[in-house]
Amino acid sequence: MRKQIEWFLGVWWTVIVRPIFFYTKLKEEEWKGKSLTFFLVNTWVLALVATVVIYVTQYIPVGSALVEGISGLKFVLILPVLLTLIFVFFLITVLILEGGFAFSFFILFFLVGYLLHYTCLFLGGKGSLNRMLQSMFYSSAVMLFGVVVPLLMILTGYGKLDFTLFRAGFGFIYVLVLIYAYGLWAVAARKTYGVPKWKAFLGAIVPIIILLIFGVLFDKMALLKLEPWIS
């Protein structure tokens, strides 16, 4: 377990801090191997953080109301039941979130990989779709920047942050993640297909534009509807 954690942290740090070095030294392997494992670890971390946030903002207030007025021996007697319920609900929640995160982000990175592959081929590059998908799943390191959003949700849920500020913070983090992803995808495209730098950045801008449009639509159509739940 320790070696796996050290491997993940080492890869994550290199991808984020030294992406050119990472993608230059990256040896092509089956994308369903280490790169997919790296991606799944990222989704598990997000799921765990999101579960903790749900507990803090939703489950704890509800649970506190249920045991209000119970103290002394009565509380000691129901404590084992409470601990069991806490564990069960935590497990159920993290499994549901992990399934949702893994499925949605897998589709995202897989489709972006295909889009970049054919875009770079159109721009005159030559490379392997397998290596592109491998590179894409390693670029999932940017997902962990998203853990800031659940932390903002806690502050908003406990009245320390106005929802308008939460919305602004969410948008800011989303844009920063896309900018970082843009750089990673451009580097991956250049190293995979051997295209000039300007063509790599031109090809990588296509999925970024699509994701920016999605972000705007999500902010206008969905984020506002989450205000009662978050606040």
Cβ atoms within 10 A of the Cβ of 62, count? 8
Q: Report d(CA 175, CA 167) in Å as an integer.
A: 12
What does the domain layout of the chain look like in residue ranges? 30-230
pLDDT at 72 over 70: no
| Mean pLDDT for the chain overall | 86
161, 150 contact by CB (below 8 A): no
Pair of tokens at residue 111: 């489709």
pLDDT tens profile 184-227: 999 999 999 989 999 999 999 999 999 999 988 888 877 777 76
- Whole-model pTM: value is 0.88
Nearest CA among 39, 29, 17, 15 for reference residue 188: 15
Nearest CA among 137, 108, 161 for reference residue 12: 137
The C-alpha angle with vertex 110 and arms to 108 and 114, in degrees rounded to 5, equals 115
Q: Could you give phi then psi for residue 224, rounded to 5 degrees?
A: -65, -35
Cα 68 from chain centroid (whole Å): 36
Q: Identify the band that residue 158 occupies on the pLDDT scale cut at 50, 70 and 90.
A: confident
pLDDT tens profile 90-100: 888 899 999 99
Res 138: pLDDT = 96
Residues in the chain: 231
pLDDT at 14 over 90: yes
pLDDT tens profile 82-121: 778 778 888 888 999 999 999 999 999 999 999 999 999 9
DSSP letters along the chain, please?
-HHHHHHHHHHHHHHHH-HHHHHHHPPP--TTTHHHHHHHHHHHHHHHHHHHHHIIIIIHHHHHHHTTT--HHHHHHHHHHHHHHHHHHHHHHHHHHHHHHHHHHHHHHHHHHHHHHHHHHHTT----HHHHHHHHHHGGGGGGGGGHHHHHHHHHHTTSS-HHHHHHHHHHHHHHHHHHHHHHHHHHHHHHH---HHHHHHHHHHHHHHHHHHHHHHIIIIIGGGHHHH-
Q: Report d(CA 182, CA 19) in Å as an integer.
A: 12
